[in-house]
Amino acid sequence: MYTYRIEMVNHDDMSDQKGVTITRDKWCSTPLHTHEFIEIVYIIAGNGIQQINGKDHFVKRGDVTYMKIGDSHKFCSNNGMQVLNCIFMPNAFPHHIGNENTNADSLDAIPNLIHLPSNSILEVENLLLKIERENEERQFAYQSLLKNYASILVTLLFRYARSESNASTNAFVSSILDYLEENFAKSSLALVSKHFNFSPSYFSKLFKKNVGMSFSKYITDRRMRAAIRLITNTNNTVASILKDVGFTEPKQFYKVFRDYTGTSPGEYRKAYQNAISTNDSEPPVFSAVGYEN
């Protein structure tokens, strides 16, 4: 696999390894290669397959591919893709770009592929055209402008990547909650994390960060809500109910139930039935206040 060095790519502006340059190309295919610089490729027109680090991505107008130093990639297109290819070294502008809003380390935090929002495509295209024009005209201090424009470009990519990541995370968390709604009675941290292809420790952190409570407490809450519904709306025995909602030990169920409601299952059912029959008081209401797991 071939490796491109910065001085091989373009003019002597890059000799200090702190410059920014851009080229407009039409590619049908490129061989697998890597390089010793950062490369941002914007698809102007056409579509095709971009393979990055062994993974194939379908790309089209409005997509941006971002290759860090050492990333391997190649293009393949049947109709030819028009691209703007912007390259620079990490030290072309301040390394702290983006750190105000991310916990990751600047340039390394940008993913390999970003799908631009439709209302942002022209914004990015106009910025890249400014970089292209400055690179062609090379007026006084043009490299300073190129670095400023490139800095803005990278910052925008951070924003789009975070927005795309948040939307993806929200959809993923929704799929987890949907799964738990159907399977709460038989769910455990080990089983659910395996179902979603995560380690238990990572899944536990991910769940708490996005749901706002631990996985254990969420499952216990859901089981208690189901148990109370069955206690108040059926004549099923407590022994049957605790198994139906996912408890295996009666002693544990009774303890958790009392922690949640302040009373036993039998007393709760009796109080509920009395309230309904006499209409002189409100039925007891389930509350998990004060319970932690």
Give the tens place of pLDDT for each residue, 234-265: 999 999 999 999 999 999 999 999 998 889 99
Quick check: 176 and 116 in contact, CB under 8 A? no
Q: What pLDDT is stored for residue 127 in this prediction?
A: 93
pLDDT of residue 212: 83
- Across the chain, mean pLDDT equals 82
Percent of the chain with pLDDT over 90: 35
Packing angle between helix 265-278 and helix 215-233, nearest 10 degrees? Answer: 50
What residues does 63 pair with on adjacent strands? 115
Q: What is the arithmetic mean of pLDDT over 275-280?
A: 71
Residue 219: which pLDDT band, with cuts at 50, 70 and 90?
A: very high
| Listed range (116-125, 158-167, 191-200) with the worst mean pLDDT | 158-167
Q: How far apart are the first and last CA of the chain?
A: 53
**What six digits make up the tokens of 98?**
């983006």
| Position 102 confidence tier, pLDDT thresholds 50, 70, 90 | very low
For residue 225, CA distances in Å to 23, 100, 147, 220, 276 come to: 61, 42, 58, 9, 19
CB proximity list for 49: less than 8 A, separation 6 or greater: 56, 57, 58, 59, 75, 76, 77
Please give the residue that has the higher pLDDT: either 43 or 274.
43
- 143 — pLDDT class (breaks 50, 70, 90): confident
Position 101 scores a pLDDT of 42
pLDDT tier, 161 (very low <50, low <70, confident <90, very high otherwise):
confident
Distance separating alpha carbons of residues 281 and 258, to the nearest angstrom: 21
d(CA 196, CA 215) in angstroms, rounded, equals 14
CATH number of the 2-169 domain: 2.60.120.280
Closest CA to 114 of 65, 152, 76: 65
Up-side HSE of residue 12: CA atoms within 13 Å toward CB? 0
**The predicted structure's pLDDT at residue 111:** 85
**Greater model confidence, 184 or 165:** 184
- For the segment 37-56, the average pLDDT, to the nearest whole number, is 89
Assigned token pair, 56: 């194939």
Question: Does the domain at residues 216-278 carry the CATH identifier 3.40.309.10?
Answer: no
Calculate the alpha carbon distances from 86 to 40, 41, 140, 277, 292 in Å. Answer: 5, 6, 20, 76, 52
Query: CA–CA separation, 123 vs 206, rounded Å?
Result: 33
CA separation for the pair 169, 207 (Å, rounded):
11
The residue-averaged pLDDT of 63-87 equals 87
